[in-house]
Amino acid sequence: MMNTITRFMLVAAAVCSLTGQVIAADWGSLKGKFVVDGSVGEPVKINVTKDPETCGNHNLVDESVVVGDGGALENAVVFLYSRKPVDVHPDFAEGAKDPVVLDNKVCRFEPHVLAVRTGQPVQIANSDPIGHNTNAALAVNPAFNQMITTGTPVSLTLAKAEPIPAPVACNIHPWMKGYVVVREDPYVAISNDKGEFEIKNIPVGTHEFVFWHEAKGNMKNMALKAGKTDRRGRSKLKITAGETLDLGEIKVPAAAVGK
Amino acid sequence: MPASEQTWRDQKVMHIVFGATALVMVIATLWLLAKDHNREWKKTQLTNRRKAAWVVQARHDSMADQFSGKMDTYDADIRRASSEPVDPSKIDEFKKLVEAESDRLKEPAPNWAKLDAAVTDVNEAATVAAEVREKVQMVGEDENPVTDDDLIAAEEKTAKERVDVFNILDDYISEARRREKQIAGQRKFVAADRTATLSQLGLMVGEGASEKRKAEVQEKITGYSNKISELTESLAAANNYRTSLDGIRADIDATRANLDKDRGVMQTELKRLADQASAMQPTGASRLGEWITRWPILNALYSGNVRIDQIWLPDLTINYNFSQAARFDRCKTCHQDISTTAPGTATDPAFPSLPEEQRNLTLKLATPDEAPKESNLPQEEQVRQIYGLVMSNDSLVGSETQAIVHYVLPGTPAAAAGLESGDIIQAIDGIDSYDKETVENYLLTLAQWGTPVELRVRRGLDHPYTSHPRLDLFLTDSSPHPEKVFGCTVCHDGQGSGTSFAWTSHTPDNADQQAEWIRDFGWFDNHHWIFPMKPARFVESNCLKCHYSKGELEPSERFPDPPAPKLVQGWTLVEDYGCFGCHEINGFDGPTRRLGPDMRLEPNYSEVALQTLRDTSLNDQERQLAQELVLSPDNKSIREQLFTALKADAKLASSSETRAEARLLETTHKLADGLKDVEVPGTYRKVGPSLRFLKSKVEYDWLYSWIKLPKDFRPSTKMPQFFGLWEHLETDPAELAVSKKYEGVEIRALSEFLLANSSDFQYLTPPGDVTEEASAERGKWLFESRGCLACHTHNEFPGIAANQGPDLSRVSAKFSNEKGALWLYSWIKQPNRYHVRTKMPELYLDPIAEKDANNQPTGKVTDPAADISAFLLDQVVDWQPKDIPARGWEGQEREALADLAVEWLTSDAIPTKRAREFVTKGIPDSLEPKLKADEKLLLKKNFTNPTEQLQNFVARRTISKYGCFGCHDIPGFEDAKPIGTGLADWGRKDSSKLAFENIHSFLAGPGNPKKHDTETHAAADTADTHAEAPVKSGDPAADAAHASTDSHAEEGHAGGHGHLDPADFVNDGISYYLQSLVSHSRDGFIWQKLRAPRSYDYKTTKNKTYNERLRMPKFPFNEEEREAVITFVLGLVSEPPADKFVYHPNDRQKAIVEGKAVLETFNCAGCHTMRMEMWDVAFHDGDFESPVDVVDFPFLEHKFSEQEVAESLVLDPRGRLHSRLVGQPVMNEETGEPLKVDIDGLPIEPDDMESDPYYRFTLWRDTLIDGEAWFMGIQDPMVPGSRTDYGPAEGAAFPAWGGDLARYLFPKVIAHAKQANPQVKGAEAWGWLPPPLMMEGEKVQTGWLHAFLMDPIAIRPAVVMRMPNFHMSSDEAAKLVDYFAAASNAPFPYEYNKQQRQSYLASQEKERPERFAEAMNIVVDGNYCVKCHAVEDFQPQGDPTTFGPNLANVHPRLRPEYVRDWVANPKRILPYTGMPVNIPYNPDAPYLGGVAQKLFEGTSLEQLSGLVDLLMNFDLYAKRKTQVSPLVEAAAAASAPAQATPPESGETGGE
């Protein structure tokens, strides 16, 4: 008899959770701007030891910390972190399968940090007249390291989300380094040259967000308008329906990016 | 004498006597029977039987408990299945079959009315039953009008109806079966008729019957044959029909039948356990029966399991002094479960033998949050329901009952607490418990709810009720030592035929145990049995009976858990400390028969050759031969040439006629004998440095200080202490004074002599092209990165410690002068120039032309040897030689020197007075022929400088006395023999031959171990002051005072003088040895000998001369090391068992074992990883995510067999899966420590204590996890890690073998490289370090590797250090080559590479002539190979850390399959490599992927094979581009005008 009752309750619970998913279709956004607090100095010029005829004419600099006007910090990564799959706004359905391009261009990776969803193809291209190899140090997905020749892009699809942005390198040109952020959902933003980022259409509720920058990894213990990040660079933020949670200027101490 | 009535004795008395003796006899008989009936082992067996039955019963009860829940469900399910409706379509199918059959047999169509009615009845009843069931389930609660009983009734009704249907169906089936049988019977008869007719025909043929009759009979036979085939056909049809009907019937009843079967399995298992328990321990009537039949006399009828259990080993004999007797090992009589494995496992012990420290546990059992509700259930049942714990009052082996855990239900609080069946709960929250009621009551009423209760638990069993440890190694059939083959006593010793504890010669491991055994078992020390059992501490000793190479006993792939760690440690210590230099261990009896391990010094060929070179009269040829022999002593041909040459000269000298023609010195002639062949040469090098050129290296002061007390300068030195060992003399001031006086003389004489007697050495100087001054800063990085730390320790580099070479922290104090600096530079640069047999390799420290960021030379040239030398000498060290007496022999010292010389000269032939005269005036020259070599130094003719002669005489005698040449090359001692007792059979040494002397009074007095230990501890803290203290207190008064303080201290000890009670030392761990000394056993003797080597001289010195005193030095062993050495030495018994028991490795194993010895000699594993870490991970289903599928070249695919997959899915008794991972965790690039991540894969911050750690584990071998294949170089699984230790959460982590330096340098080289390039990729840094060599054998060609080891070349431009030259012999190199091939299962000693044969290439090129040219297109294309690789003359540009080896040199080095696999996907061979996939494989793309068609037309597979063939034949390719004919023509043309003569062969050579 107990059995019967339990079974009923389980069915009921299942029904509720199904409907719950449907109801939760309210969305909000998150935005902010990273500003470095303090001086990071001039960008370090790269000593081009290989293929100077191609790579030597572009004033290549070390891109591990890129700061624009007023200390705007580029290439900081913010992404939603959840152990369970989150609802994805229907707008994202379109484009989820469109390829994104990681280009080897003038002996650097373009873009420097690339975001891609699982199952979404990455076109690894080479716009330079010389050969590059693309060596992605993926933690969860199968290792990838292949020669990319001029004009013959290679397509790569990643099946699993990577826990942290995975470094991408070219072994031939030892200064070349980029990152690829692989997530199951589209809730990832990379700060632009003004230090700004925005993640739109996040399902309403309190979510954990990871703040990450390549210089020091997790941006831990960083003050936010709404609290601060923990030692793992995470912060729980509440997204309200139809509103944008603006974190405003997020001050990143120069020391936090290793300067 | 006439007969009379009178008897010889009085009858009455006789009756009494007879009566009494009869009575005595009866009593004696009864006594005998009783004794026999109550023999000790019977009781043990009965107890063991009870224990085993208890365990099985507990398992049975636990299973029954778990099943009983399931059983109820089963019953309901079965009832339900038996009341299912019958599917009409099945019935229709059945009907159709029957109708078709009737039709075929032309029988009337069957009447189905009855069946149809029955089916209708069933289905109606089933519908009713279903309705009832629904009502029962849906409505529930009180007012329900329908009850379970109604349901059961309805179901039973249906079941009955179903039976009716089945009965009808069965009728048809039995009819079918009847027919089938009938046809079969018919066929049998016809076949019999045919056979009869056949024989009839046979007879007719024999009798010559008419053709006609024969034809008739033949026709009959044919008729029968036809009939048979007809019947066979019908039979098949009938069978088919019947089985089809059966099938349908079974189908209808399938659900019920399956449930029935499942229940049957459970019941069978339960029954099996119950049977097993009762078979072990008879119950009821059979118990009574047994009890009776086990009585005396009746026991002839007894057939139960209480009996002597013995293993007969006719070939594994025991030495009874005069004969070899077969062994009867009856140990199992008491140790019944010694080889019993846990159910369902091959090697897990059923009754683990837990070490005492693991037997007392404190467990925490969680309690409910609130007090349990009042209940009418018995306490027992409540505890079961709340905690999952079932207890009993019982005892497993003892007589007292205790509160024992009967069983624990899985997934309950009790299981979570870790309680196990058989645990004794001794206390609960500190309250002692003697029965289960106490525990249950506490758990139900007294516990503090919500907080766990603390249980004090006693786990495990005592001997002999346990199983043997390491059943993977011993006893089981799958182990290398099955019990039936090896028995027990060959390893353990003891008296195997004994059946009582005392008489089997068990040996207690300490005094406490001994006391306990005497009390409990009447143990005694049976002196008459020469093979007492090995005590637990030495149990590994006997491995040496059958294992003669250390490598056989080291951890291996199959046995990663060290099989004999203590023995191997001892063996290594004996090797490292060079014990064999004095104490030879000869493992051979004749050239081939082995007796045991062999540790002997190699022949002194190098040293002899060096000494020969001192003879200035050598001719050029002799000198050249000697010089060559110095460097290659293994070169037999050179050695024989030199021997012949020297002997020829000696022959001249031996005859008076030709004496004048002899050129060479007499000593040289004598030396020649040292060049003779040795039957089985030793293989060990001397462990100390050469002293041949000593004066070029050190100064007198340092040397004096070193000889006096080596550890003063270098606390970690392996050189033992020879002087100042005076503990035993402390109570005897006069004797102590003698020692002090003469030891001082000896040290001085040695120092002076060793310097004066050494040869000149040519230092190396920096090459001319060096432009930069030496820099200590550069030197520091070079010291660290060039591999020095693989062998040496240095204070500046904490975090890595190696002891192959000495600790170099203090060398600046040793080489604080110009000579030292010159020497150090030469040594670093080319060590074997100074010490030809050193193990220190030549590091190729050639000048470095500095390059700028663009890899262009800056014009600066540095000298790394000078830099390293500068670094070492730059260290500020607070050490100086102290209290060094002024040189020159003055006054008292001169007298002491003379006195010692007198001591040496005095003998039976030379009285002291005469000796003193000799020492003063020299020995008359006329006595020369009678003198020994050293004494000739004192001849009058040599006595121009008597002091120097006396000094040299004393020094030479001293060297001979202490055997310095056992470890050092000392000029003039090339022919000296080891001075110590051989140890090859020391493990059987008759202890009556050991001189224990006054050791007991020493140990009870001044040598009391308690006092001694505190002194040693103090000494460790202040080594310097301690060393000096005894010397300073020179006057006897002070010594006496010292002694009296000691005796005060002793009063505190129990016993005091004259009495030593080993039991006082149990806590010190040395009671065993003291006991052993008390009973004059060799174990104790050697222990004390190692501990205080001179102590056997206590109170004996008065009656000895100074030079007769003991001379064994003291080695810096701690107690653990001492025990390891003793374990090894006690195993040396020279008693090899029959050959079939001796370990004989196969070729591959032999190559591995022999190779290991060479690897160890040269410390290859200091730099290289020889074997990766191995993690045996235990986990639960779902702990690992599934790997992602990858597409790769088909030949790279690793298919696991179905059996391997099935094995990886096996659950252990605890419900866990297992997987063996080989590789290493991903390391943190900054710290070099294994990286820990959380469950999401994010790195764990150092202050994070909450997150469960995981490791990303880089696989170095493809593996199966949970039935899924994970491939090396593709994905790293995330392994749940232990929170407390390093390794997996559950399971074991076996450490890597070798590669410490690589791991140490990993973060350092990254940091170093980051200075130039901040974007350095960490993982790649492994590629700059010494490579792991697990797969070296598969990788390289054997011939190439041999040459490389002999003369290493630089291969990889990216590496921070290059392979040094060890100057090994060809034989050593060959052993290494074989080792690598054997260890990676590659062919050896030769391999055949068909890809490099003309025939193969010709056939390939026939199809495609331009193959090489096209492949070359890929090599030279700017996108591919040449981007990073040099090819012949071409050099790539850029940063050398990105460069690979020159591709023109691949063909002699690598094996073709390796090159193919490597180019196809490099990461699958080296997971860390930066080399990309150049020829991608894509089965969906045109040409299967690959590179552009314009480079090489064809599929990716063809491109790859073309490229590999080119690389493997690059020499051929290059040769084809070379033309010699034009050169010949040109040469001819050039010489033509002069003369028309043909060119001579020599002339072309100049080209």
* Interface TM-score (ipTM) > 0.85: yes
User: Does any CB of chain B come closer than 8 Å to the CB of residue A6?
Assistant: no
User: Does any CB of chain A come closer than 8 Å to the CB of residue B458?
Assistant: no
Nearest CB to B1245 within list A160, A175, A231: A231
**What's CA B1122's distance to the chain center, in Å?**
21
3-state secondary structure of B25: helix
Predicted confidence at residue B17, as pLDDT, reads 94
> Radius of gyration (Cα) for chain A, nearest Å?
21
Predicted confidence at residue B1439, as pLDDT, reads 82
- Sign (positive or negative) of CA dihedral B513, B518, B519, B520: positive
At B183-201, the pLDDT tens digits run 999 999 999 988 888 888 8
Whether residue B388 has pLDDT greater than 60 = yes
Q: Which of B1190, B1423, B1472 to mutate to test the interface with A (most CBs of A within 10 A)?
A: B1423
Predicted confidence at residue B950, as pLDDT, reads 95
User: Does any CB of chain B come closer than 8 Å to the CB of residue A23?
Assistant: no
Decide if B1241 and A141 are in contact by the 8 Å CB cutoff. no
Cα distances from B372 to residues A95, B447, B449, B451, B1135, in angstroms, run 59, 10, 9, 14, 68
At B885-901, the pLDDT tens digits run 989 898 899 999 999 99
At B1074-1131, the pLDDT tens digits run 999 988 999 999 999 999 999 999 999 999 999 999 999 999 999 999 999 999 999 9
B1477 chain-A contacts, CB cut-off 8 A: 145-147
| Residue B141: pLDDT band with limits 50, 70, 90 | low
User: Does any CB of chain A come closer than 8 Å to the CB of residue B1467?
Assistant: yes
Whether residue A16 has pLDDT greater than 80 = no
Tokens describing residue B649: 């000269």
Cα pseudo-dihedral B1089, B1094, B1098, B1099, rounded to 10: 140
Decide if A177 and B1319 are in contact by the 8 Å CB cutoff. yes
Nearest chain B residue to A52 by CA distance is B1438
Q: Which of B854, B1427, B1507 to mutate to test the interface with A (most CBs of A within 10 A)?
A: B1427
Decide if B854 and A140 are in contact by the 8 Å CB cutoff. no
At B262-310, the pLDDT tens digits run 888 888 888 888 888 888 888 788 888 888 888 888 888 888 888 899 9
Decide if B1324 and A171 are in contact by the 8 Å CB cutoff. yes
Whether residue B1197 has pLDDT greater than 90 = no
Nearest chain B residue to A168 by CA distance is B1321
**Chain B: nearest CA to A132, how far in angstroms?**
7
The answer to whether B583 touches B980, Cβ cutoff 8 Å, is yes
Decide if A141 and B1275 are in contact by the 8 Å CB cutoff. yes
The answer to whether B335 touches B463, Cβ cutoff 8 Å, is yes
CB burial readout B1298-1317, b (16+ within 10 A) else e: bbbbbbbbbbbbbebbeeeb
User: Does any CB of chain A come closer than 8 Å to the CB of residue B1440?
Assistant: no
Decide if B1274 and A143 are in contact by the 8 Å CB cutoff. yes
Predicted confidence at residue B429, as pLDDT, reads 92
Nearest CB to B1467 within list A134, A143, A174: A143
Where do the DSSP E strands lie in B1284-1383? 1291-1294, 1297-1298
Q: Which residues 159-188 of A have a C-beta within 8 angstroms of B?
A: 159-160, 162-164, 167, 169, 171-172, 174-177
Whether residue B1050 has pLDDT greater than 70 = no
**What's CA B165's distance to the chain center, in Å?**
68
How large is the greatest C-alpha to C-alpha distance in chain B, in angstroms? 152
3-state secondary structure of B393: strand
Arithmetic mean of pLDDT, A47-61: 88
Predicted confidence at residue A21, as pLDDT, reads 41
| Residue B1537: pLDDT band with limits 50, 70, 90 | low
Whether residue B146 has pLDDT greater than 80 = no
B1190 chain-A contacts, CB cut-off 8 A: 142
The fraction of chain B above a pLDDT of 70, given in percent, is 95
Decide if A147 and B1424 are in contact by the 8 Å CB cutoff. yes
The answer to whether B1187 touches B1269, Cβ cutoff 8 Å, is yes
Where do the DSSP E strands lie in chain A? 27-37, 77-81, 100-105, 108-110, 113-117, 121-126, 132-136, 144-148, 154-157, 166-169, 177-183, 188-190, 196-203, 205-213, 217-218, 223-224, 227-228, 234-239, 244-253
Cis, bond preceding B1136 (omega within 30 deg of 0): no
User: Does any CB of chain B come closer than 8 Å to the CB of residue A2?
Assistant: no
Tokens describing residue B378: 């018995």
Nearest Cα neighbor of B1381 from B1178, B1151, B1545 is: B1151
**Chain A: nearest CA to B1188, how far in angstroms?**
7
Cα pseudo-dihedral B1359, B1360, B1363, B1365, rounded to 10: 150
| Residue A41: pLDDT band with limits 50, 70, 90 | confident
Nearest chain B residue to A143 by CA distance is B1274
A4 chain-B contacts, CB cut-off 8 A: 137-138, 140
Whether residue B1390 has pLDDT greater than 60 = yes
Predicted confidence at residue B1021, as pLDDT, reads 41
At B1265-1320, the pLDDT tens digits run 999 999 999 999 999 999 888 999 989 999 999 999 999 999 999 999 888 888 88
Tokens describing residue B1300: 């410490």
Where do the DSSP E strands lie in B149-276? none
Residue whose token pair is 């009979």: B217
Residue B1045 CB contacts under 8 Å (≥ 6 apart), including other chains:
none
User: Does any CB of chain A come closer than 8 Å to the CB of residue B1471?
Assistant: yes
Nearest CB to A147 within list B137, B1188, B1477: B1477
Neighbouring C-beta atoms of residue B310, cutoff 10 Å: 17
Decide if B1476 and A145 are in contact by the 8 Å CB cutoff. yes
Predicted confidence at residue B1027, as pLDDT, reads 37
Lowest-pLDDT range, B395-399, B919-923, B1044-1048, B1348-1352? Answer: B1044-1048
Nearest CB to A231 within list B1237, B1248, B1474: B1248
Nearest CB to A139 within list B1241, B1467, B1480: B1241
Average pLDDT in chain A: 86
B1484 chain-A contacts, CB cut-off 8 A: none
Distance CA B946, CA B917 (A): 12
Decide if A49 and B1320 are in contact by the 8 Å CB cutoff. no
User: Does any CB of chain B come closer than 8 Å to the CB of residue A21?
Assistant: no
Distance CA B966, CA B980 (A): 10
At B670-711, the pLDDT tens digits run 999 999 999 999 999 999 999 999 999 999 999 999 999 999
User: Does any CB of chain A come closer than 8 Å to the CB of residue B1188?
Assistant: yes
Nearest CB to A135 within list B1188, B1427, B1474: B1474
Q: Quickly list DSSP for B572-622.
A: HHHHHTTGGGTS-B--EETTTEE-S--B-BPP-HHHHHHHHTT-TT--HHH
Distance CA B574, CA B1127 (A): 11
Nearest chain A residue to B134 by CA distance is A4
At B1242-1274, the pLDDT tens digits run 888 877 888 889 999 999 999 999 999 999 999
At B450-472, the pLDDT tens digits run 889 999 999 999 989 999 999 99
Decide if A171 and B140 are in contact by the 8 Å CB cutoff. no
B1248 chain-A contacts, CB cut-off 8 A: 231-232
CA geometry: angle B837, B839, B841, nearest 5 deg: 110
